[in-house]
Chain A
Amino acid sequence: MAKRRAIEISAAVAEAAKLADVDVVAAYPITPQTHIVETLANFIADGEMDAEYINVESEHSAMSACVGASAAGARVLTSTNSQGLALMHEILYIASACRLPIVMPVVNRAMSAPINIWCDHQDSMGERDTGWIQFYVETGQEAFDTTLQAFKIAEDSDVLTPVMICLDGFILSHLIEPIMILEKKEVGQFLDSVYKPVNVLHPNKPISIGLLGMPDYYFELRRQQVDALEKAKKVIAKVDKEYEELFGRRYSFFESYKIDDADVVLMTIGSMTGTARVAIDKLREEGKKVGLLKLRVFRPEPYSEIYDVIKNIKVLAVVDRNLEPGAFGGVVFGEVRSAFYNREKKPQIMNFIVGLGGRDITVDNFLEMADTALRVVETGKMEKIIEYIGLRE
């Protein structure tokens, strides 16, 4: 039976990889991701896990080795963040276009410069166009469960697309949390220990992978990735349901909190959601109609599903933990606004940019954001569409 263990979240993610019977791990150290690959190294050193562990010389080679191993039919995992993820950038496109179900926990960290090892989402958000599925998790339990789900989603023959599980650096990765860790037998009911690809690099049936696509074919081949991500929506929902039936936990594309009669909804992503919940409870005690919507699946986009639950609210405040210099607001804000533009009935949409480079996002910050949004409800006027919170200006 599953046991509740006080365990560091990085170690829990490694436990999930072990339970998934990963065959090849490509590892390159980068703070704050290191605890995941260190834990996996220990599992292998102690004979608890049977996998090839490749100590690659860079993240570029980590992703390249994952591509090779996955093409050869292995279940593979690597993990990185920030500069390491940026170094992988080129190969991320190739991994998804070659339809290789690689699983990668990304332990979110700010981008240089200035160099900074603390949390924000600039790294993974910067990879949003690479054709990968992206989950953002709030807790250690969700990180563990999502890692297990990720293999099943990625390897589904309708999907065959790699998955990033984005978890906030330090805030989640280094936190010790009581987590229900499943047993191998239980995981076996959910996930086959062997990944059985249709096309695999093996002399038994020679195939060519990664061909030259000229203008007469390239467009169609790339379009197939759009279809795969669309199909991934159904698979994500199906896998989530199966997981719930077996283990009693379910996450969906997003989670809403106290939004039924809300005038204002704060849309959060990642670990900041926990802090936001505290703020919402406080606001509700004061009779303020504020709710919360946590985005979990970012790719494929979840906006049609989200629309149904927020169409009746007055102000949607999107809280972005990322920065797009020169753009109109943060990444999620831009997408949400664009997705709802053609809807007749829609809330006013505003943007708060928060928590870059590990800057704390406090309950007070959320109270301030809620007050600003409530003022828009009262006055009908939005003075600023995009605001920075917790920043000295």
Chain B
Amino acid sequence: MTEQAFKSIKNLPQEEYFAHGHRACSGCGHPIAMRLIMKAAGKNSVYISVTGCLEVVSSPYPQTAWRLPWIHVAFENAASVASGIEAAYKALMRKKKIEKEHIDVIALAGDGGTADIGLQALSGALERGHDFLYVCLDNEAYMNTGIQRSGSTPYGASTTTSPRGKVSIGNVTWKKDLPAIAAAHHIPYVATASVAYPIDLMNKVRKALDVEGPTYIHCLSPCPTGWRFDSAKTIEIAKIATLTGFWPLYEIVNGKTVLTKKVAKRKPVKDYLKLQGRFRHLKEDDISYIQNRVDEIAEELGLGPLG
């Protein structure tokens, strides 16, 4: 293990680059993630947002929550816009048109903007090897437009376009494995993260930015509105996601997967599912189906047994 840049929540950088007063729902995971990511990145960083919750809540003209340079262009192109920005700095610095310094380029997208509409742009940018970090803030559906399912919505979740019903259990597909897709581009650094593990998230951001080349972080960001839970429980739910093995925390460094949060004895997934309205309709059979799948993944990753 390399030296961790951040050790304790007690002595994090004091600067707040994501300003309060934004219009996110109470309990939204995104602003929590952004405060941490921007603290970890520091002042010399530039941000690209796709269309979606984060963009809408942070930039109602003439206000902005972004104290560092920020651009929003469209829904599907965070990675392409980031490519252009990275290339511009590279060319301008090489040609001595601007002062030479290191500027981190960070693209931010939700799960729809990453797993679905933005996947092509992401793949292109990873393959081309731009020096940038892409963070997917995964709240597991299109929340900004009203809780429609995405390629990253988990099995069994009821959404407005995959509703539970008399003959439906809700979403019938498994989450697209985005970290694996990113890693398949043979990029130097891929990680999963969660707003419930702030130090882990910040260290991963720091590591990703310190590496040269494209890097990818997939961060769980619970959505009280879309998942239907009490907005005071965002962190609790995100934590249980990891403790059940539903959201394992790991890094893939140069192709090698390493767990960053070991769970000796996993909690049953039921503990995670029962806290959320989107899973409330699931029957015992459905839950054991999900449990089996989580067990398989947990075993593959080397997480502990069900305790």
Which residues from chain A sit less than 8 Å from chain B, CB to CB?
21, 23-24, 26, 50-52, 54-58, 60-62, 64-74, 76, 90-91, 94, 98, 194, 201-203, 206-214, 217, 221
Residue in A closest to B98 when the chains form the complex, CB atoms = A73
Could you tell me if A73 and B92 are in contact, using CB atoms closer than 8 angstroms?
A: yes
Kindly identify which residue among A50, A61, A213 contacts B77, using a CB–CB cutoff of 8 Å. Answer: A61
A90 to B120, CA, bound (A): 16
Could you tell me if A24 and B88 are in contact, using CB atoms closer than 8 angstroms?
A: yes
B168: Cβ under 8 A from any A Cβ:
no
Kindly identify which residue among A51, A76, A91 contacts B74, using a CB–CB cutoff of 8 Å. Answer: A91
Could you tell me if A210 and B83 are in contact, using CB atoms closer than 8 angstroms?
A: no
A51 to B90, CA, bound (A): 9
Kindly identify which residue among B60, B61, B67, B83 contacts A68, using a CB–CB cutoff of 8 Å. Answer: B83
Could you tell me if B85 and A69 are in contact, using CB atoms closer than 8 angstroms?
A: yes
Kindly identify which residue among B59, B84, B121 contacts A208, using a CB–CB cutoff of 8 Å. Answer: B59
Could you tell me if A213 and B97 are in contact, using CB atoms closer than 8 angstroms?
A: no
Given A24-B87, A57-B124, A58-B120: A208 and B76 interface contact (C-beta under 8 Å): no
Could you tell me if B124 and A23 are in contact, using CB atoms closer than 8 angstroms?
A: no
Q: A202-B69, A208-B70 are in contact. List 18 more A-B contacts (CB 8 A).
A: A23-B92, A23-B97, A24-B91, A52-B90, A57-B120, A60-B80, A66-B84, A67-B71, A68-B71, A70-B88, A73-B92, A74-B88, A76-B88, A203-B68, A203-B69, A209-B72, A211-B60, A211-B64
Given A54-B128, A94-B74, A203-B103: A69 and B84 interface contact (C-beta under 8 Å): yes
B46: Cβ under 8 A from any A Cβ:
yes
Q: Which of A66, A69, A214 is the most central at the interface, judged by chain B CB atoms within 10 Å of its CB?
A: A69
Given A208-B70, A217-B62: A56 and B97 interface contact (C-beta under 8 Å): no
Kindly identify which residue among B59, B67, B123 contacts A212, using a CB–CB cutoff of 8 Å. Answer: B59
Q: Which residues of A contact B73 (CB under 8 A)?
A: 64, 67-68, 91, 94, 98, 210
Number of A-B contacts defined by CB within 8 Å: 161
Which residues from chain B sit less than 8 Å from chain A, CB to CB?
43-46, 48, 55-56, 59-62, 64, 66-74, 76-77, 79-85, 87-92, 94-95, 97-98, 103, 120-121, 123-124, 127-128
Kindly identify which residue among A72, A194, A213 contacts B84, using a CB–CB cutoff of 8 Å. Answer: A72
A62 CB → nearest B CB, Å: 8
Could you tell me if A71 and B71 are in contact, using CB atoms closer than 8 angstroms?
A: yes
Kindly identify which residue among B68, B124, B128 contacts A206, using a CB–CB cutoff of 8 Å. Answer: B68
B49 CB → nearest A CB, Å: 8
A24 to B55, CA, bound (A): 27
Residue in B closest to A22 when the chains form the complex, CB atoms = B91
Q: Which residues of B contact A201 (CB under 8 A)?
A: 46, 69, 71, 85
Could you tell me if A64 and B70 are in contact, using CB atoms closer than 8 angstroms?
A: no
Could you tell me if B69 and A54 are in contact, using CB atoms closer than 8 angstroms?
A: no
Q: Which residues of B contact A23 (CB under 8 A)?
A: 88, 91-92, 95, 97
Q: Which residues of B contact A206 (CB under 8 A)?
A: 66-70
Given A209-B72, A214-B60: A57 and B97 interface contact (C-beta under 8 Å): no
